[in-house]
Amino acid sequence: SGLIGRSWAMVFAAGGFKVKLYDIAQQQLTSALENIRKQMKEMEKSGVLKGALSAEQQLALISVCTDLKAAVEGATFIQECTPENLELKKKIFNQLDLIVGDNVILSSSTSCLLPSKLFTGLKHVKQCIVSHPVNPPYFVPLVEIVPHPETDPSMTERTYALMKKIGQSPVKLNREIEGFVLNRLQYAVISEAWRLVDEGVISPTDLDLVMSDGLGMRYAFIGPLETMHLNAEG
């Protein structure tokens, strides 16, 4: 129920879904609910609250739980949001593997751990998938859907449809790859940015301006391939 978990809870509640927020410490959950309430009320006041429901209606959809079995009872979709630690995530998925049925989707928020490292060996591996959000998911809609080599295609399609339904912008990776797609593009830009500054071509401040007042403004609306297609004679 940290930053990502809270944001996901808000996104799903905005889509009209009942959400159970799980954590091992009750105080953490109490703090999470207070934070969610504060954010939702502020956004409602500013007119930027997502979804058709009021803040109170959305808050009523979110409950908290410190018992994992009780938390996932009746769930159709489980989104794991623990820290980016392989052993911790594997521990959680091993626990879930013992208590879930054959219909629930087991999804991870990991930003870089490969599905094959997370899910291999699980009894319910066909139901496992990565749904990588961009921080914070409530304000940045992209979700990278990355299957395990054994993920059932129907689980990928169900995850994609769910993300569309709650107002996110899902993209499907056909196979797993280190860094997924967002971070591979991001790191390519960061790598060149370091190089240009290191070689004295441009100052750090001006380098950032190239992105914020140049490329970034363009890429906020269209991607690199569409940009090339539309440029001059294509």
Whole-prediction pTM: 0.94
Q: Are residues 72 and 111 in the same domain?
A: yes
Domain boundary among 38, 66, 94: 66
Q: Are residues 146 and 76 in the same domain?
A: yes
Q: Are residues 51 and 61 in the same domain?
A: yes
Q: Are residues 100 and 62 in the same domain?
A: no
Is the pLDDT reported for residue 233 higher than 80?
A: no
Name the residue with tokens 């928020």.
Answer: 109
Q: Are residues 111 and 151 in the same domain?
A: yes
Percent of the chain at pLDDT above 90?
96
Domain boundary among 51, 66, 81: 66
Per-residue pLDDT band at 234 (split at 50, 70, 90): low
Domain boundary among 23, 42, 66: 66
Q: How confident is the prediction for the chain on average, in pLDDT?
A: 97
How many angstroms separate the CA atoms of 46 and 132, rounded? 28
Q: Are residues 111 and 187 in the same domain?
A: no
Q: Are residues 76 and 62 in the same domain?
A: no
Name the residue with tokens 């809270």.
Answer: 6
Per-residue pLDDT band at 232 (split at 50, 70, 90): confident
**CA nearest to 84, candidates 76, 92, 75:** 92
Overall number of domains in the chain = 3
Q: Residue 226: which domain range?
A: 181-231
Q: Are residues 163 and 91 in the same domain?
A: yes
Q: Are residues 194 and 96 in the same domain?
A: no
Q: Are residues 121 and 203 in the same domain?
A: no
Q: Are residues 121 and 132 in the same domain?
A: yes
Q: What is the pLDDT of residues 178-196, one digit of tens each?
A: 999 999 999 999 999 999 9
Residues 162 and 135: beta-carbon distance below 8 Å: no
**CA nearest to 62, candidates 15, 103, 110:** 15
* pLDDT score, position 231: 86
Window from 17-21, 124-128, 220-224 with minimum mean pLDDT: 220-224
Q: Are residues 107 and 172 in the same domain?
A: yes
How many angstroms separate the CA atoms of 20 and 70, rounded? 9
Q: What is the CATH number of the domain that holds 139?
A: 3.40.50.720
| 145 class by beta-carbon count within 10 Å (0-12 exposed, 13-18 middle, 19+ buried) | buried
Q: What is the pLDDT of residues 71-130, one digit of tens each?
A: 999 999 999 999 999 999 999 999 999 999 999 999 999 999 999 999 999 999 999 999
Query: For residue 180, is it left (φ>0), alpha (ψ between -120 and 50) or beta?
Result: left
